[in-house]
Structure 1
Amino acid sequence: MVLITPTIQQDETSPHGGLLHVSFPEDTDCRPFSIPLRPDEAVLKKWKSLNDLSMFGVFTVDGYICQAVDASSRTSSSPEVQLNVPSNTLSAYFGRPVHLVYKGSTPRACIPSTNFPELDATAVYQDLYPLLFLSEESMLEIEKELRPRVGTQGIDERWKTEKVTVERFRPNLVLKGAGPFAEDGWEEITIGSDSAAPRILVVGKCTRCLLPNVSPETGEKDKAVPFKVIMKFRMGADPNYKSKACVGSWGVPKQDGVVTVGDVISVKKVLTK
């Protein structure tokens, strides 16, 4: 799946702000397609709605089955619809029935965390919480722990020099300057220096599965890295999940705001236990 390439083609002069273009590896027979970037109510009314979608077997969410449009008619107020192209193309690629779904507007509750057992927050689509941040120093620490283990535990020799990229851990905010795993001890932060800087609760640490072992560039799964490494020195970082390794921290914004590259993070509260 990581070999599928989504590209945002932003165009504020177009009816829906542009297109989301989806392309596939050249060695497949799957043709690329495009969908409206920000479909309005008129578009969504034409798409089949679903109210019983399941995320992880835990959350029930709503959504719409996406329909493609002719990319050459992006400036038209009613671009030509290409029915069932996303569903048919993705089903052919995966070899099983698949739909591309646009998440509906109904929020869902975020689950309470170790740090916030009474958490009152919602998310729309995100995995567990809206934000996941990780520092560059934390990534360097993982590599520091990795190098001496090369040749053991099934860790291949290529890891003597190959980098463990931050993309493997899928954060949407990458930090720098606080030191490795400094985020473990934060409870509340702001991002930006003005009075409107968004306030973010650091609700907990992100427990990790085997997915970071899959290269986001090639789609190939490594048999050991980084999972076996982080299990050696990050297991039990969350006392409620002592058998899990934690890398990165989850965040929940408590107010709206704009975040830009280079913004300064201010730590407002730290954990006291």
Structure 2
Amino acid sequence: MKDSKGIIIGSAVVGGLSLLYIYRRYFAGKWEVVAEVDKLFIHPIKSCRGIAMDSFTAEPRGIYVTGTELGDRSFMMTHEDGRFATIRHYPKMVLITPTIISDDELRLTAPDMDPIVIKIPKHGSARPVNYTVWGYPCPGIDCGDEVANWLQKYTKGKNTRLVYHNQQLPTRKTTKFMDFGHLGLYDKGPLESMFQDYSAFNVLSQASIDVANTKLDDEHKVNVRFFRPNVLLKGCSAFAEDNWKRVRIGTAEFVFAKHTTRCRVTTVNPDTGVMDMDRSTLISLSSFRLCKPEEKPIYGNSPKISVDYIVVRPGKISVGDKVYVYNPRT
């Protein structure tokens, strides 16, 4: 009797494993290599110069320098009324270069300015104040008068200040696109981020930049710094990233959120801080990168290039990592 029961159980296990194998072999999707990580960037201060990285850690609220609390867009310049300061107001912001000294200190440099070192208010004893990014409040800790005076002198902004979003503060919850899941956007809940425009992770391929440059004259050619992604890819076709719904890079995994629309930021040369008043880049992109008619409530009349993703499994990403896309069987 015991032998018969063992045989039955064993047969059931074998049968179950066989069914699982058949399902995975013939019905389940699979991960396929589609590209490789060429470069990685963290932009500690929103709209200021990015830092090239060999690796970083992707977490739901943002991208972090591994082993630190310093994240992508965790600092932000603000106006007196709490709105974030943009390159449109201060084009020379793109020349402000942050350098990580330690987990506690950040050095800022800019042309014709003495460097300044700021103490990062990681545990902010000061009362956090709500600032706004595209109308959504996000708390931050003011970094003090010394760096505020430095920024005001450089940008000629009357009341510009620097604020920091540390890990003790709640994230900014964005619900702006929640009603557009039927168009393929992320609609599983509010997005949580720091001072990023939308999501905490942005991807662009070099091939997409190369195609954009075929539409521009030599004076207005662009590079990756015009678009400010976190990850630059190589080895895929132009705009292939538009169609990836589920992505794995290193030990992190992501799902598609939305395409990234472009504004006057792309008309400011990141090496000179000079704005192209003719808006050549925007006009060029608009000639072939506008959205479908049904997507206008989302993207309006702005051209789109690069893609926002949502981190669904935290992990580490390094230059040279293969990029995998999950292809479900249909």
- TM-score normalised over the length of structure 1: 0.75
Partner in structure 2 of residue 81 of structure 1: none
**Partner residue of 2:212?**
142
1:228 matched to 2:283? yes
Contact 2:186 2:257 in 1 (8 A): no
Match of 2:133 in 1: 55
Helix, strand or coil at the partner of 1:88: helix
Q: In structure 1, what is the equivalent of residue 263 of structure 2?
A: 209
- SS of 1:258's equivalent in the other structure is strand
Query: Are 2:97 and 1:5 equivalent residues in the alignment?
Result: yes
Distance 2:159 2:285 in 1: 35
**% identical aligned pairs:** 28
From 157, 172, 175, the equivalent of 1:108 is: 172
Greater per-residue helix proportion: 2
SS in 2 for 1:199: strand
Alignment of 1:65-144 (within 5 A): 65-67=142-144, 84-93=145-154, 94-104=156-166, 105-111=169-175, 112=177, 114-116=183-185, 118-120=187-189, 121-144=191-214
- Count of residue pairs the alignment pairs up: 224
- The superposition leaves residues 134-188 of structure 1 with CA deviations (integer Å, 9 ceiling, x where unpaired) of 0000011111222xxx4xxxxxxx43xx641110011011111121000111111
TM-score after normalising by structure 2: 0.63
- Alpha-carbon distance in 1 for matches of 2:146, 2:310: 35
List runs of 5+ in structure 2 lacking aligned partners: 1-92
Q: Which has the larger radius of gyration?
A: 2
> How much does 1:242 deviate?
5.2
Listed as ranges, the matches of 1:121-200 within 5 Å are 121-146=191-216, 150=217, 158-159=218-219, 163-192=221-250, 197-200=251-254
Cα offset, 1:87, TM superposition:
1.5
- Tell me if the contact between 1:110 and 1:119 (Cα under 8 Å) persists in the aligned partners: no
1:219 is paired with a residue whose SS is coil
Separation of aligned partners in 1, 2:104 and 2:131: 26
Residue 218 of structure 1 is matched in structure 2 by 272
Q: CA RMSD in A?
A: 2.2
CA contact (8 A) 1:189 1:269 kept: no
Contact 1:22 1:32 in 2 (8 A): yes
What whole-Å deviation, never above 9, does each CA across 1:92-145 have from its counterpart, x for those lacking one?
Answer: 332401111111421122333542352323112222110111000001111122
CA deviation string 1:14-53 (max 9, x = no partner): xxx2521012211xxx43211235x442xx21xx333321
Distance of 1:142 and 1:96 partners within structure 2: 36
